[in-house]
Amino acid sequence: MKIIHSPRHLGHSGHVELMNGRVVPAFEKPERVAMILKAIGERNLGPLVDPAAHGLDPILKVHDADYIHFLAQAWELWTQDGRDFPALPSFWRAPGMRYVEPENIDGKLGHFSFDAGCCIVAGTWDAVQAGADIALTGVDLVAGGEASAFALCRPPGHHAHQATMGGYCFVNNAAVAAQAFRDRGAARVAVLDVDYHHGNGTQAIFYDRSDVLVCTIHADPLQEFPYFLGFADETGAGEGEGFNANYPLRWGTDYSGWSAALDDACARIEACGADVVIVSLGVDTYKDDPISQFRLDSPDYLKIGLRIAKLAKPTLFVMEGGYAVEAIGINVANVLEGFEQG
Amino acid sequence: MKIIHSPRHLGHSGHVELMNGRVVPAFEKPERVAMILKAIGERNLGPLVDPAAHGLDPILKVHDADYIHFLAQAWELWTQDGRDFPALPSFWRAPGMRYVEPENIDGKLGHFSFDAGCCIVAGTWDAVQAGADIALTGVDLVAGGEASAFALCRPPGHHAHQATMGGYCFVNNAAVAAQAFRDRGAARVAVLDVDYHHGNGTQAIFYDRSDVLVCTIHADPLQEFPYFLGFADETGAGEGEGFNANYPLRWGTDYSGWSAALDDACARIEACGADVVIVSLGVDTYKDDPISQFRLDSPDYLKIGLRIAKLAKPTLFVMEGGYAVEAIGINVANVLEGFEQG
Ligand SMILES: [Zn+2]
Ligand SMILES: [Zn+2]
């Protein structure tokens, strides 16, 4: 399986997040990719390939132009008054407040975000663009006939809405890829989000569409970030009714409980007749993940790969979360290896 | 003029806020009240009187019960896992997310707040209750025949919505007071908010009501917190249409520009036939305020007091913002002295 990677993710480093009442180094850090590359090398997975530039057009098909313009300008605006440290938003909207873009950068940060954990530094926008190119190059490979590919995106993307960053995510790489598959002729695309956290951005982007099925297996939003989306009764709207499936699971869920949701999601994907599957691959379901509360163990990730392979569809893996740095490489490589064995 | 004060505000101390990408000691601090008391003493304003306990019922008339229950429990929930440091929310809602109260305290903090500056410490809830009692005791005095009173509330209140804290505000003291005046027989109450920041909470609470006119003079939300409310076209809804008046003014506004808005607001208050006026008294319009961008000078606050006195209505002053600690006492005392001279 070809693995698309770029060192440009390294520009998104030194960033911070507000967690537990304190500003701390972000759990989402460059070492995550280093550990994945190490495991891939050890298992002889790959080869690694470079992304091709795709420009902004495919991004603008799923994100608002104002938002992308903001992301492209944010660091310059933040630093033009002499600030040389990471940018975080610090306020947002109460229910009933209005959706108007403020004039200054502090206001814009609040306008376009939904947490104080999505931090912008000098290299963020370049890394984000590289991430989208990685996903789009994965689409090129799979649409061009490869059975599968792994887009090693960083930062992740599944929390990013049409015009809102959050949860370490800026551009929704999986959503950009899903749209690109549609534009290259796939009649229906399925997104299977196995990250510990709800894929709120992907859900939101495709919520009223029947051409992209979104299935996401995640911690119950009553207990876990992103908290305010990801409930079981969110099944799509309008044309999209029936094309969104959420599997919220309680803290402490192990593979037996988790895999039942996976089986159900896979059955939906088969039933909808998707031409291609995008896997939003987070491995923060791991038992020792520092910010998560599921109990999957490393061998379980082999089984996940095997189960997804049984769908027997062209498959693009897109990297999302996973913060147990010591284990992230093993767990990701296990998914890929399980898939190749399947 | 009687000045209602309680030392219980001192319990709300040691709190922090996320500002400019960093967690810093909050600009809203106990010294603010100390400086006001000092200036009041030097000018022989007063006497100081203690608040009487009024319980939660008058608060629950303008705030949601779930929210008040949260405020009362928040510190206990935050600390029960061993945390002994100030509580801050760190995430919120993207547009389209749902309004569901999470189970755990980290989720509840995000659910009930609109910034990462409204910080809860051990003594916050006691101080907040004392602040509401201070405002309600002011209502008792004015409804009982006093021409005026000054409710020296801290923390402030005007940013707090029915179920959302923010901008250093937890319970909306001015709104609680306005409702209490109504319940004591006033047919119509006018709230005149002269704080630098928009009185978004007060506006939201009374937006569809004609019995409480809300006039607020503040920095343009395109430039300034709370950013997403306070525009000139927000004039009330339904029965409340015409009973909300916003005066957004650009950064750098001095007294000549500011006082034109005050004159217009006073004309509205006269026209609506209010029985009583509540002044949400913030002095962060001051030229040297550390977080604000207007250019009022200390003598201007005398003129504000004089102008409000010309309304010749029973008047309750309720303390809101003002963060230039060295000048806050002078500026507040000037308003009160101007009013008494008027
Ligand atoms: Zn995740
Ligand atoms: Zn203020």
B122 contact A CB<8A? no
Residue A192 Cα to ligand 1 midpoint, Å, equals 14
Q: Supply the CATH number for residue B334's domain.
A: 3.40.800.20
State residue B101's pLDDT score: 98
B6 backbone dihedrals φ, ψ, rounded to 5°: -140, 140
State residue B33's pLDDT score: 98
Q: Which two tokens stand for residue A336?
A: 């890929």
The residues placing their C-beta within 5 Å of ligand 2, an ion, are B 195-197, 282, 284, 321
> Is the pLDDT score of A43 beyond 90?
yes
B240 contact A CB<8A? no
Phi-psi region of A234 (alpha: psi -120 to 50; beta: other; left: phi over 0): beta
Which ligand number lies closest to the CA of residue B286? 2
Mutation for testing the B interface, residue in A92, A170, A200, A225 having most B CBs under 10 Å? A92
State residue A81's pLDDT score: 81
Residue A266 within a domain: yes
Q: What whole-number distance in Å separates Cα of residue A17 and Cα of residue A150?
A: 28
A115 contact B CB<8A? yes
Contact in structure between A120 and A165 (CB atoms under 8 Å): no
Residue B81 within a domain: no
Residue B180 within a domain: yes
Q: What whole-number distance in Å separates Cα of residue A84 and Cα of residue A82?
A: 6
Task: List the 33-72 stretch of B: residues with Cβ below 8 A of A.
Answer: none
Contact between chains at B94 and A87 (C-beta distance less than 8 A): no
State residue B253's pLDDT score: 98
Which ligand number lies closest to the CA of residue B291? 2
How many CB atoms are closer than 10 A to CB A340? 15
Mean pLDDT of B46-62: 98
**Residue B265 banded pLDDT, cuts 50, 70, 90:** very high
Mean pLDDT of A104-113: 97
pLDDT per position as a tens digit, B10-35? 999 999 999 999 999 999 999 999 99
Q: In residues, how long is chain A?
A: 342
Residue B171 within a domain: yes
How many CB atoms are closer than 10 A to CB B217? 28
Contact between chains at B93 and A93 (C-beta distance less than 8 A): yes
Q: Which residues of B touch A80 (CB under 8 A)?
A: none
Residue A111 within a domain: no
pLDDT per position as a tens digit, B308-323? 999 999 999 999 999 9
pLDDT per position as a tens digit, A174-185? 999 999 999 999
| Average pLDDT along chain A | 97
Contacting residues for B320 by C-beta, under 8 A, at least 6 apart = B153, B156, B157, B158, B174, B193, B195, B199, B280, B281, B282
Q: What whole-number distance in Å separates Cα of residue B46 and Cα of residue A339?
A: 78
Residue A60 within a domain: no
Contact between chains at B111 and A227 (C-beta distance less than 8 A): yes
CB pairs < 8 Å spanning A and B: 171
B23 contact A CB<8A? yes
> Is the pLDDT score of B81 beyond 90?
no
Contacting residues for A328 by C-beta, under 8 A, at least 6 apart = A32, A35, A36, A283, A286, A322
Over the range A307-339, which residues count as b (16 or more CB within 10 Å of their CB) and which as e? Answer: bbbebebbbbbbbbbbbbbebbbbbbbbbbbbb
Residue A185 within a domain: yes
Residue A159 within a domain: yes
State residue B41's pLDDT score: 96
Mean pLDDT of A191-216: 98
Contacting residues for A61 by C-beta, under 8 A, at least 6 apart = A176, A179, A180, A183
Domain hosting residue A180, numbered range: 2-8+29-52+129-341
pLDDT per position as a tens digit, A258-288? 999 999 999 999 999 999 999 999 999 999 9
Task: List the 164-203 stretch of A: residues with Cβ below 8 A of B.
Answer: 164, 166, 200-201
Residues of chain A with pLDDT > 70, as a percent, come to: 100
Contact in structure between A234 and B114 (CB atoms under 8 Å): no
Closest CB to B102: pick one of A18, A87, A222. A222
C-alpha B35: how far from its chain's center?
18
Please count the structural domains in chain B: 1
The pTM (predicted TM-score) of the whole model is: 0.97
Residue positions of B annotated with a catalytic role: 159
Residue B202 Cα to ligand 2 midpoint, Å, equals 13
Contact between chains at B92 and A114 (C-beta distance less than 8 A): yes
B337 CA: distance to closest CA in chain A (Å): 36
Q: Is the dihedral of CA A194, A196, A201, A203 positive or negative?
A: positive
B14 contact A CB<8A? no
